[in-house]
Structure 1
């Protein structure tokens, strides 16, 4: 294995992306349109960015 490869094949970024996708799919399954679900996910990301700064 290369020295610059992460020990875990799922990086924190990939795990976060998977969680956001799961949330998106859950919003769609709950009855939101795809556009509404995307807006909610974007709002979650924006809120997290604002909380981190």
Structure 2
């Protein structure tokens, strides 16, 4: 069961998804910062969307 979940995760994160993941996570983390989070986090998250 554990190996099947690991294989599924590897297939899901392969290719462009693996490259876009750091941009998406960083954009989400920055978006939490009050006042300046949304304007700064949106372009970073958009880079992740552009990669996909």
The question of a shared fold, defined as TM-score above 0.5 by the shorter chain, is answered with: no
TM-score (norm. length: structure 2): 0.43
Name the structure where helix makes up a greater proportion of residues. 2
Higher relative contact order (CA 8 A, sep 6+): 2
Pair member with larger Rg:
1
